[in-house]
Structure 1
């Protein structure tokens, strides 16, 4: 299901789907429509339910079925997206808590629905309430990126792209006007915006102008194509003969991002014709899971030596050499830097009683990072 097509076309219907934490979100239409619109709406549904429920899986959805149904009913009306902002939805439908659950059990009725329309219903910006309570006069901006890469058997980088989001946590009083600009906006492609963003300033000057929702929200998402380097390298070598396969995997820093590279793991699936595996590492831990996945947890790369995984794989009797070579999946995290090179140049805040506090952060983690052997 993870690799299932997001768009499925039948003679009479169009199906759109996304996969999150073991749950498939499915939308069906009878007429052709832009796929990105449907996929973006399904992603929004998943994000809103995660915000409501704290996590997202099949059991949590079953336990909170009434709230899920009510949220979906408000998010879409007659087949069209309606209310998609979590802060507005929470004024209409209270998030689940112990008191609400007990009242539901005792009375048999839902106690989550509000008795009045949210304040934002009377606002000229429907994603923001006219009265923001407990505003601390702060705004935080995070650039969060995932790096997708593919390295072929010759060690050549054949694909390297960054998928990013600009996430904002806003706690500003009144109805503030924000303007954000990037130092290098020309590197980004395939941009999608939150409804609060005014498109004309971006189209003419690559400047984001918007009145933000209160709380956390995704301001924009983007892609940066054809990056030329990855921060780490993984060099696997597998040689087999006489029923034995020798394995050596070296990991090191190729392009120092200037920040520590954390949470490095390398995993691969043992081929089906392997009888036994004897693998060790000079740094980190090696675990072979029940489904024959080898997980090498490195953490951080030490400065004095390159981590190396080595050992032997014993093939089935009668098999001289290994014909199916594994693909290595790489994970890592870097705090404090966006590997695409995207940087925020300026953030201006207007229409607030006093100058707010502004904070900026960036992080990158590996998405689908494959190294073929």
Structure 2
């Protein structure tokens, strides 16, 4: 299925490559680099790039492109899902998936990739199985391996690989039994100048951390994707999630709420951006405020706007937070922080155009980032969490979070 894998950083350098069959030359990535140059943003690179003899399938995670080289016909989503699973595994092992973390643990990275793919086909992708095959790196284990010349490869085969529940290892024991669930939703929205919603969608996931010795009743959602542990027949019949959880962190499900379901936008943006014809001055005014937050605070607010190329400088006054303007890239960033409903944050001032420059043809697009704790905009709620078959009572916790995905305000 997958012939080779290349890891490319933000500078366009290939810092790691892995081949499962014959070695594919790095020159095949030239087609990928051409697609990156044509893309307006890193996220807009086409996920599937055909070449005369190969097909390149890529994902962007943590400012790293994971580029898989395919030689035969294969479902692209199958490869994309595997690449995301590789990133999740690296994050589980190293805490973060960055270029530095991959380089510092390059031996473990190659061992993991060797176990996850067998002759180019997925073999072991569950974290519980991989951690029994390849021990996670620690300072003590690294020192011992350096002195003794041993590796992180386990001496015994995983106990759960041939089980009916391969995602959970056997014989797990904990002093404190716990189960935590995070409901995280991202809003992708486009807002026009009057504040009306052009389109809005929600991408949601339920992440879990279950540490138990030895599983919710949501509204109808679109495009639900479950972890293999979920008993799908019971979900179809009763709309109840019943599952035997893996040990540790895992993603229970992901879902999508389309714009037809009247997605509520939690914040509003009022703006006035204008450039006078024949003048070297322009006006920039921006105000933010909470809209559908149910009394919850809007935190970690960051506003960015790509101003036209003819803008020379910006002299603005924020009522809250700080702003920066890069005269080279023309990027304006306003770090608002937490929105106070009693005193709405605003950013006002003037912009200077280059000498002799006419009124810019392009209008800037405002991008917004924010987080709202303990709120699910879709209305998803966990009514009850029951556990059967065990005598102990675990500690259970639910956390909700809404944050901005691609949130744009068009002028």
TM-score, structure 2 normalization: 0.84
Q: Is 1:239 the equivalent of 2:274?
A: yes
- Output the aligned Cα RMSD: 1.9
The offset of 1:122, in angstroms, is 5.5
Alpha-carbon distance between aligned partners in 1 of 2:178 and 2:100, rounded to the nearest angstrom: 36
Give the 3-state SS of the residue equivalent to 2:249 in structure 1: strand
Alpha-carbon distance between aligned partners in 1 of 2:322 and 2:86, rounded to the nearest angstrom: 38
Alpha-carbon distance between aligned partners in 2 of 1:113 and 1:256, rounded to the nearest angstrom: 49
Mapping of residues 236-315 of structure 1, within 5 Å: 236-241=271-276, 242-289=279-326, 291-315=329-353
Give the 3-state SS of the residue equivalent to 1:208 in structure 2: coil
Tell me whether 42-51 or 349-358 shows the greater mean CA deviation. 349-358
Matched with 2:137 is 96
Q: Is 1:20 the equivalent of 2:61?
A: yes
Matched with 1:316 is 354
Alpha carbons of 1:29 and 1:356: their partners in 2 closer, same or farther (altered >3 Å)? same
Tell me whether 326-335 or 219-228 shows the greater mean CA deviation. 219-228
Mapping of residues 36-115 of structure 1, within 5 Å: 36-107=77-148, 109-115=149-155
Deviations 1:153-190 (A, max 9, x none): 4433111111111111111111xxx2x422x2x1x111
Q: Which has the higher strand share?
A: 1
Alpha carbons of 1:104 and 1:73: their partners in 2 closer, same or farther (altered >3 Å)? same
Residue correspondences, number: 365
> Match for 1:215 among 248, 255, 261?
248
Q: Is 1:224 the equivalent of 2:220?
A: no
Tell me whether 282-291 or 363-372 shows the greater mean CA deviation. 282-291
Query: Which structure 2 segments of 5+ residues have no match?
Result: 1-41
TM-score, structure 1 normalization: 0.92
Alpha-carbon distance between aligned partners in 2 of 1:110 and 1:63, rounded to the nearest angstrom: 17
Alpha-carbon distance between aligned partners in 1 of 2:392 and 2:147, rounded to the nearest angstrom: 48
Alpha-carbon distance between aligned partners in 2 of 1:78 and 1:196, rounded to the nearest angstrom: 26
Query: Which structure 1 segments of 5+ residues have no match?
Result: none
Tell me whether 137-146 or 283-292 shows the greater mean CA deviation. 283-292
Matched with 2:381 is 343
The offset of 1:120, in angstroms, is 1.8
Matched with 1:129 is 169
Would you say the 8 A contact 1:135–1:172 is kept in 2? no
Give the 3-state SS of the residue equivalent to 1:207 in structure 2: coil
Alpha-carbon distance between aligned partners in 2 of 1:181 and 1:243, rounded to the nearest angstrom: 59
